[in-house]
Chain A
């Protein structure tokens, strides 16, 4: 269980994390979704004890991180965004070392290392140095180092950055396994697909603030059941905007090359929408109709694309 209350982290005048509060429960994956620089990594660094918060409280596994750091940290497993492995130690030695760092020893440590090597798919390369590994294999080892001591709480800071699709799927499986085991997983990402696939609960963070939170369904409900229509081509804003207003649709984004709107019963009204917009002189080259997703939600909340 992670409980964060009014967490603030400032660097001089710059407020990197601004009064962030959330709770993550055992057996769930809690996602922190936001663009680069939103404050996700700063938040996770505060929870892992790497950064000292300017204000606020953090409780990890029932222990206050500031007052009872050793007990709080004992229940944490960390998978940093950047690789944090010894490239001059074999995968087995890396795992054994980090297991020992959390008090594992003897046969228990050996069995646990073998188990994790199997889970991350590196058993056949266990004796090799990571400098001989591919990027995906290094990522998996980085992941393994975080869970070798069977932590009750797992902090994953953008664990799939730079990972090939095959390794990514394997990492997703590992996250799901941890969740099934009852581990509380805090997962930061700026990939909406990952958040949608893995997370039971989400907090959308931007400029250090949580701007929306809840389950995926709760967040989708922000759209009131509307659909999303995305158009690409060429559009003249001054002519398109009055037409959309007349269609009882909402503009999520409008640029000279793209248009995204929310509208109820999108499939039924799509031909009429296309006809009305074409009548403004717009050149429509591609059309997509979808249910609301995190990307569109983020766009609605912040007025900017999450990938930007």
Chain B
């Protein structure tokens, strides 16, 4: 056991004396994460989707102003940012891809709606966006449904309002009757429209997904990418030591050869922690994640290193040479990183690829960590996912050890 510890220390010294691999394992994931988050426009802690709706009000009636003020309600402004523009400016901005949609309320819209004549709102959407225009369309359709209900309930009153717009002013008596009719109708439908004096208090803890940014969705994948690089470097050590002759000294020493692999396993754990530390720190600061999660996340990542190391080591020892092992592991590693959520979050993937991601070793490691960062899991919920994978990893590394014993002696 002591010699395993001594070997881990020796391995760490070797990595620090030749830090090129460590620096790459830190810098490449950081660069990929930074580029992807920048390209996809996901800043730390900012809502990821907010539609920008440009509105041109050519009607300028109380109906058109009602629409604009409805779109400016608090709940809606969480999703849609409204901006009034004139007709030409709106068209030009949409043509340049600036904005999610341009809504034109045509002249005479209010009167036509009051008199229930055929009328249309004109909406031009940005073809380069998919989610935001859909959001705007659904919001407008809801508004139009509301307008239809208003006509069904207050049809007569709306006609009176329309006539008043043509200059037929209401007399004192007709105003009283008008008001009384509206009051009667409201009290008539009150039981249907207004809720009973009973409320349900939702005490379910709110997940932190409300403001999940693209960068936060990417972050666990970036961390696992770093763990992958660290594990890959360590997995080639079997060939390096064989070529350098030091593996021969190992075999000739009185130590059991399996202790070599156990030492490599623990080295992968420490190396992953070393590589993950600066990335984790940068991510926590940038994404404003609660710092109390830092060391739990680091511990989780340290455990992912040996898991990935086991998979890659098995590939290495099955390969006929160091060169072939390097090629095969690279050929396997990059597609796994792509599919497993290190370059794109699974949330942005087609459903079938996201399903495949769940069955990749790195994908299985990314999702629990994502859940931990977004509040879906607590620490124990995250670690529950690792023990089974660790057991499989231990079997894999012992298998690699058994195969490599024969190769070391060849």
Whether the Cβ atoms of A84 and B246 lie closer than 8 Å is yes
Whether the Cβ atoms of B3 and A89 lie closer than 8 Å is no
Min C-beta distance of B378 to chain A, whole Å:
41
Main secondary structure of the interface of A (DSSP, over half): loop
Whether the Cβ atoms of A88 and B17 lie closer than 8 Å is yes
Min C-beta distance of B233 to chain A, whole Å:
13
Whether the Cβ atoms of A102 and B17 lie closer than 8 Å is no
Contacts of B18 in A (CB 8 A): 88
Min C-beta distance of A85 to chain B, whole Å:
7
A88–B246 Cα distance when bound, in Å, is 12
A50–B18 Cα distance when bound, in Å, is 29
Contacts of B7 in A (CB 8 A): 97
Whether the Cβ atoms of A86 and B244 lie closer than 8 Å is yes
Whether the Cβ atoms of B254 and A73 lie closer than 8 Å is yes
Q: Taking CB as reference atom, which chain A residue is nearest B410?
A: A51
B251 within 8 A of A: yes
Whether the Cβ atoms of A80 and B17 lie closer than 8 Å is no
Whether the Cβ atoms of B6 and A80 lie closer than 8 Å is no
> Which residues between 130 and 166 of chain B lie within 8 Å of chain A, taking CB atoms?
none
Whether the Cβ atoms of A80 and B244 lie closer than 8 Å is no
Number of interface residues of A (CB under 8 A): 32
Among B7, B13, B253, B255, find the residue whose CB has the most chain A CB atoms closer than 10 A.
Answer: B253
B207 within 8 A of A: no
Whether the Cβ atoms of A101 and B255 lie closer than 8 Å is yes
- Contact partner of A74 among B10, B248, B250, B254, CB < 8 A? B254
Contacts of B1 in A (CB 8 A): none
Among B245, B246, B249, B251, find the residue whose CB has the most chain A CB atoms closer than 10 A.
Answer: B249
Chain A 47-78 interface 0/1 with B at a Cβ cutoff of 8 Å (1 = within): 01111100000000000000001110110101
Whether the Cβ atoms of B6 and A97 lie closer than 8 Å is yes
Contacts of A89 in B (CB 8 A): 10, 13-14, 17
A104–B245 Cα distance when bound, in Å, is 22
Contacts of A244 in B (CB 8 A): none
Whether the Cβ atoms of B252 and A102 lie closer than 8 Å is no
Whether the Cβ atoms of A98 and B409 lie closer than 8 Å is no
Contacts of B244 in A (CB 8 A): 83-87
Whether the Cβ atoms of B252 and A48 lie closer than 8 Å is yes
Min C-beta distance of A185 to chain B, whole Å:
16
Number of interface residues of B (CB under 8 A): 21
A143–B251 Cα distance when bound, in Å, is 17
A51–B10 Cα distance when bound, in Å, is 26
Min C-beta distance of A16 to chain B, whole Å:
13
Given A51-B409, A86-B14, decide whether A101 and B253 contact each other with a Cβ distance below 8 A.
yes
A145 within 8 A of B: yes
Among B7, B254, B409, find the residue whose CB has the most chain A CB atoms closer than 10 A.
Answer: B254
Whether the Cβ atoms of A80 and B10 lie closer than 8 Å is no
Contacts of A80 in B (CB 8 A): 245, 248-249
Whether the Cβ atoms of A88 and B254 lie closer than 8 Å is no
Among A73, A82, A97, A103, find the residue whose CB has the most chain B CB atoms closer than 10 A.
Answer: A97
Contacts of A84 in B (CB 8 A): 244-246, 248-249
A86–B250 Cα distance when bound, in Å, is 12
Min C-beta distance of B315 to chain A, whole Å:
24
A76–B251 Cα distance when bound, in Å, is 12
Min C-beta distance of A154 to chain B, whole Å:
12
Whether the Cβ atoms of B14 and A100 lie closer than 8 Å is no
A51–B18 Cα distance when bound, in Å, is 32
Given A49-B252, A52-B409, A88-B18, decide whether A82 and B245 contact each other with a Cβ distance below 8 A.
yes
B2 within 8 A of A: yes
- Contact partner of A105 among B2, B251, B253, CB < 8 A? B2
A48–B249 Cα distance when bound, in Å, is 9
Whether the Cβ atoms of A97 and B252 lie closer than 8 Å is no
> Which residues between 212 and 269 of chain A lie within 8 Å of chain B, taking CB atoms?
none
Whether the Cβ atoms of B254 and A102 lie closer than 8 Å is yes
Min C-beta distance of A53 to chain B, whole Å:
12
Q: Taking CB as reference atom, which chain B residue is nearest A83?
A: B245
Whether the Cβ atoms of A102 and B253 lie closer than 8 Å is yes
Min C-beta distance of A282 to chain B, whole Å:
49
A93 within 8 A of B: yes
Chain A 36-49 interface 0/1 with B at a Cβ cutoff of 8 Å (1 = within): 00000000000011
A129 within 8 A of B: yes
Min C-beta distance of B119 to chain A, whole Å:
78
Whether the Cβ atoms of A49 and B245 lie closer than 8 Å is no
> Which residues between 323 and 344 of chain B lie within 8 Å of chain A, taking CB atoms?
none
> Which residues between 192 and 220 of chain B lie within 8 Å of chain A, taking CB atoms?
none
Residues of B that sit less than 8 Å from A by CB: 2-3, 6-7, 10, 13-14, 17-18, 244-246, 248-255, 409
Residues of A that sit less than 8 Å from B by CB: 48-52, 69-71, 73-74, 76, 78, 80, 82-90, 93, 97-98, 100-103, 105, 129, 145
Chain A to chain B contacts (Cβ below 8 Å), 11 pairs: A50-B409, A51-B409, A82-B245, A88-B14, A89-B17, A93-B10, A100-B2, A101-B250, A101-B255, A103-B254, A105-B2
A50-B252, A78-B248, A100-B6 given; 20 more Cβ-contact pairs under 8 Å? A50-B251, A51-B409, A52-B409, A73-B253, A73-B254, A78-B252, A82-B245, A83-B244, A83-B245, A84-B248, A86-B244, A86-B246, A89-B10, A89-B14, A90-B17, A97-B6, A98-B249, A101-B249, A101-B250, A105-B2
